[in-house]
Structure 1
Amino acid sequence: MHERIKSMDFKQKVVDLINEQVDLPKEKINLLIERPKNEKMGDYAFPAFALAKIEHKNPAEIAKNIADQINDENFTSIQAVGPYVNFAIDHAKLINTTLNDVLKDGEHYGDQTLGDGNVPIDMSSPNIAKPMSMGHLRSTVIGNSIAKTLEKVGYTPIKINYLGDYGTQFGKLIVAYRLWGNEEDVKKDPINNLFHYYVKFHEEAEKNPKLDDEARATFKKLEEGNEEEVKIWQWFRDASLKEFNRIYKELGVEFDSYNGEAFFNDKMQPVVDELKEKNLLEESQGAQVVNLGEDENPALILKSDGSSLYMTRDLAAAMYRKNEYDFVMSLYVVGNEQGEHFEQMKKVLKKMGYDWADNIHHIPFGLITQGGKKLSTRKGNVVFLDQVLQDAVNLAHKQIEEKNPDLQNKDQVAHDVGVGAVIFHDLKNDRRDNFDFDLEEVVRFEGDTGPYVQYTNARAQSILRKANHETTVDNLTLTDNQAFAVAKQLADFPAVVAKAAEKFEPSIIAKYALSLSKKFNKYYANVRILDEDDQLNARLALVQTTSIVLTEALRLLGVNAPKEM
């Protein structure tokens, strides 16, 4: 007799049963297991093709031999269909087990211990004195979701906002402020005015290249700690951070550290000294580089004038984070185009003898475009994030007014729906893909949107309020196919969380939430949930567990789940 198994283990049970019959490792079997396209064929299928070469037999014959040897009470049938061994789960058992587990665990359903230890996540990282644009949305919300998901599976995430608060752009900005700015304007509207000076600098520098030389000289003064330059820089930084934090509050994102590039200014020289001591620095066209091999570009460490580069600073930051947090993994949520930079950084650290560099992972993502065009700060072709969030909230407000004008807390719900819509739309896309942003599409209550998932949860909550019934874990038997489809989806949630954590991919959770919502809405359309009969408690348990899992899935994406909409 096999013991009762938790809902998330049905697939594992299939893996174990196959493993008892064939000479393949469980990891390999796990990867081979499929869901049959036709649900009448069963719930899991093992293809025997992989064994044909080993056993020199026909895959259909192998499948039949395996199926004949297995018998297990958790499955209503185990049979060979051509080259597949198909497993059909006992529907009533899966529903009962799953609803029981979710009700018992509540929001902790899907919690796991896949790992432990500190995981610094370098994310968001806007540049001081520039408005946060849609370009910053991706790193911020992807990093935030990865942090929440890793925490759910046992890690301790440390969210680091590695502010762009240093570099030659500050030379440019200080020069631009002195030429065209004034204190009063900056105090009135710091970010927009500083951004205006920055754009103007680039326009003027195209006509007058000497401005770039002046900017470089000004940055050098800043690096050397010149009092006047440092004072202006600190003012720009403080004003910017105040504005950034207002937007982070809108998004519901918090950070554990704001140590930006400037923080590492005095930590770079020891890195350069160590590279020299280990004979890794070479001169190349006046610059100091680390050679990474014949077919590789060298890693630039110091420019010919002796000033530092991104690489110098990132090496110092990586070493500081290892010493400070003793991390088990260190993540960098930065765009696709920085792939080579992080590869080089890891190679330099490895050459320095630091094997922990293997645990550094670049988490790349694609671009947000509008009308198919890339957004660029330098040319002023930019979409400001705070404006997008405000427009999204207004659109949500308008739809709520039409659908439910008497709703309590209308402003809070509109905020949760509008901001949630923008976050969800970003995260439902595979992070490496580019996507086009159209606000009207994003905030719709129908279709593959965040508001659709939120509305599904609010519908479930509405049913529970109407029923006014205390759900119990007794008698959770349901036999209809729609209930089974929902329960099967609920049973998959822990595996979905594990996969999203392993691949650092929030879209796995977002797509899951959409799929669960569709299955639940089909159930709602076809079943009289509130009928007073002996299955009422079980039906309401299905509604309640759906709401629990949808709310938790949305939380892992950084999206709120209003109980009414």
Structure 2
Amino acid sequence: MNYKIDLSDLLFKALDGKLDKNKLVGLIEKPKYSHLGDLAFPCFELSKHYRKPPQTIAIELANKIESPLFEKVEATGGYLNVFLNKQSVSNVVLGSVVTNKNHYGTNNVGNGDVVTIDFSSPNIAKPFSMGHLRSTVIGNAIALLLDKCGYKPVRINYLGDWGTQFGKLIVAYKLWGNEQTVRENPIKELLKLYVKFHEEAEIDPQLNEKGREWFKKLEEADDEAISLWEWFRGESLKEFSKVYDLLGIRFDSYNGEAFYNDKMEDVVEILQEKNLLETSDGAKVVTFNEKSLPPCLIKKSDGTTLYATRDLAAAIYRQNTYNFSKSLYIVGNEQSLHFKQFFSVLEKMGYQWHNGLAHIPFGMILKDGKKMSTRKGKVVLLEEVLNEAIQLAEQNILAKNPNLESKKEVANAVGTGAIIFHDLKHFRQNDIEFSLQDMLKFEGETGPYVQYTHARACSLLRKGQYEEDVDSIHVVDQDHYTWDVIINLMKFPEVIEKATESYDPSQIAKYLIELSKSFNKYYSSVRILNDEDHKHSRLSLVHSITIVLKEGLRLLGIKAPEEM
């Protein structure tokens, strides 16, 4: 049902097979204005090849191309403009959506290949802040898209549960902590201690040295250090699970940085055996003379390991465990250099599978134009934002539909959906200014707008007592509003493929907004229930809308209530 492919096949024959078919597909575009057709093929590049004006080539092609799928083919300037046959295309599109239901748009591009996805990855003993929202929802959407395209995603929550910061936290707890207070409100109290440590360390720099000493004890499995660390980790996971439950996100592995503590020496040994390690100021590094990259630090001068050491151990473990074809790291833009170094070390180690590794960067959530900082206590808690969104959704429901039976369930779906959609509608590499007011808007280009459109369409089906009959699908209307909906429905499989290829969920979010707008115009302009002769045909179109909106929202990790 990709009419670009059909047109490219006909162009290939008309041009005597002299041009690459993939190139022809790439040239086909959508005209800027609907009166110029549904597909357009620019002939300017062919002009060089055939030594003729593009207008002449367009006229010649218009005379050669015929298909029952095309209502009209005409030359306009240097373009070949194609008008699809509304009747036959509408029937094919609706038939495909209704027959395939939630599998509409599913493909097997991935061929069952395993893709590990490293996302969310909050630091233990710190609150789950808005700063972790992006990695969490972008990673989840990418996993859902990969699954839709025939890959086997493995969702990994690579918890930040190791490193010098835990030495610092242990020092802070031992100096100023109170066990009872921490037990009553673990994350809040541990954050206070962490912030206090950094405030005090500015006055007394020796505290940083003590923090390093306690982290070294952790690495050496000191009983007291391990006991405190396990307590902090356990309490953190309980808190994180509340947020993941609200967002409806699951993981296949919670192996954090600490899991690789006993696997890092093997990596160091391999690097040593391959003569890749060099000494610099007492530290062990890998240099990249052939690339314009700074050295990658593997071991500090005091013998402690770093992010790179653990990431190398994790990558090797994941390849041995999952045999992935691709391994994705959903981590902020600011870590780009780290990933270039880390991937380059794997390449130097001779691992061919390093080609399958990719850093999927994203921008930050800013507050007043600045990055949120845990060290300085400038944190907005994600759980609080989600709960506030859910409460606001419930208030809206009570005002607009007080008799709704499943108020709590719908409020949960709408509140969390508002937060997730607000993030995913932006291209991932752009920064987003944190504004609770904007995130919780229920009008405009928002998640609740798409969800409400879905609920409105479901309401029409109930009122019209619609019963699905695949065999009797026949689109009777040829008006602009109906055709605009059909064209949007037809795009869904292509949008899924492109969003997956580019790891860009915003393409799905933007598509859902466009589909919702086209349906709402259709709803306002066409008598859907008042014309008995055409009612079933029109409700079939409405039914198709509900299928695609629900599936599109699912791919973003958002639920689609049938009533709101």
Instruction: State how 1:216-227 maps to structure 2 within 5 Å.
Output: 216-227=212-223
1:298 pairs with 2:295: yes
Cα distance between partner residues in 2 of 1:468 and 1:369:
48
**1:381 Cα deviation after fit:** 1.0
For residue 56 of structure 1, what is the aligned residue in structure 2? 51
- The secondary structure found in structure 1 opposite 2:126 is coil
- The secondary structure found in structure 2 opposite 1:396 is helix
Instruction: State how 1:235-314 maps to structure 2 within 5 Å.
Output: 235-293=231-289, 295-314=292-311
Instruction: State how 1:80-99 maps to structure 2 within 5 Å.
Output: 80-99=75-94
Q: 2:13 aligns with which of 20, 39, 45?
A: 20
Cα distance between partner residues in 1 of 2:549 and 2:368:
32
Equivalent residue letter for 1:313 = R
CA contact (8 A) 2:154 2:252 kept: yes
- What percent identity do the matched residue pairs reach? 54
For residue 147 of structure 2, what is the aligned residue in structure 1? 151
- The secondary structure found in structure 2 opposite 1:492 is helix
Cα distance between partner residues in 2 of 1:224 and 1:500:
45
1:171 pairs with 2:167: yes
Instruction: State how 1:88-487 maps to structure 2 within 5 Å.
Output: 88-115=83-110, 116-293=112-289, 295-473=292-470, 474-478=472-476, 479-487=478-486
For residue 65 of structure 2, what is the aligned residue in structure 1? 70
Cα distance between partner residues in 2 of 1:540 and 1:296:
60
Q: 2:40 aligns with which of 21, 45, 49?
A: 45
CA displacement, residues 112-156 of structure 1 (integer Å, 9 cap, x when unaligned): 000121111000000000001011000000000000110011001
- Between stretches 290-299 and 180-189, larger displacement belongs to 290-299
For residue 531 of structure 1, what is the aligned residue in structure 2? 530
- The secondary structure found in structure 1 opposite 2:339 is helix
Equivalent pairs, count:
558
For residue 3 of structure 2, what is the aligned residue in structure 1? 10
**1:21 Cα deviation after fit:** 2.9
Superposition RMSD on alpha carbons, in Å? Answer: 1.1
Cα distance between partner residues in 2 of 1:532 and 1:336:
55
- Between stretches 316-325 and 92-101, larger displacement belongs to 92-101
For residue 500 of structure 1, what is the aligned residue in structure 2? 499
Cα distance between partner residues in 2 of 1:232 and 1:96:
65
**1:534 Cα deviation after fit:** 2.6
For residue 3 of structure 1, what is the aligned residue in structure 2? none
Cα distance between partner residues in 2 of 1:283 and 1:438:
47
CA displacement, residues 16-69 of structure 1 (integer Å, 9 cap, x when unaligned): 222223333222222221111110111000111122222222111122222221
CA spacing shift, 1:231–1:475, aligned 2, 3 Å: closer
**1:260 Cα deviation after fit:** 0.2
CA contact (8 A) 1:94 1:488 kept: no
For residue 35 of structure 1, what is the aligned residue in structure 2? 30
Equivalent residue letter for 2:2 = D
- The secondary structure found in structure 2 opposite 1:121 is strand
**1:339 Cα deviation after fit:** 0.9
Cα distance between partner residues in 2 of 1:525 and 1:442:
27
Cα distance between partner residues in 1 of 2:29 and 2:527:
33
Cα distance between partner residues in 1 of 2:528 and 2:439:
31
Cα distance between partner residues in 2 of 1:509 and 1:389:
22
1:558 pairs with 2:557: yes
Cα distance between partner residues in 1 of 2:529 and 2:435:
39
Equivalent residue letter for 2:82 = F
CA contact (8 A) 2:170 2:214 kept: yes
CA contact (8 A) 1:145 1:557 kept: yes
How high is the TM-score relative to the length of structure 1?
A: 0.97
CA spacing shift, 1:203–1:325, aligned 2, 3 Å: same
Equivalent residue letter for 1:469 = Y
CA displacement, residues 209-254 of structure 1 (integer Å, 9 cap, x when unaligned): 0000000001001100001100000010001001101110001000
Equivalent residue letter for 1:302 = K
- The secondary structure found in structure 1 opposite 2:2 is helix
CA contact (8 A) 2:44 2:78 kept: yes
Equivalent residue letter for 1:25 = D
For residue 5 of structure 1, what is the aligned residue in structure 2? none
- The secondary structure found in structure 1 opposite 2:297 is strand
Residue segments in structure 2 that go unaligned for 5+ positions in a row: none
**1:475 Cα deviation after fit:** 4.3
For residue 520 of structure 1, what is the aligned residue in structure 2? 519
CA contact (8 A) 1:461 1:547 kept: yes
Cα distance between partner residues in 2 of 1:157 and 1:202:
39
Equivalent residue letter for 2:225 = E
CA contact (8 A) 2:499 2:508 kept: yes
Cα distance between partner residues in 1 of 2:238 and 2:442:
33
CA displacement, residues 321-358 of structure 1 (integer Å, 9 cap, x when unaligned): 00000001000000011111111111111111111101
For residue 545 of structure 1, what is the aligned residue in structure 2? 544
CA contact (8 A) 1:445 1:455 kept: no
- Between stretches 477-486 and 231-240, larger displacement belongs to 477-486
Q: Which runs of 4+ in 1 moved over 4 A?
A: none
Cα distance between partner residues in 2 of 1:301 and 1:356:
21
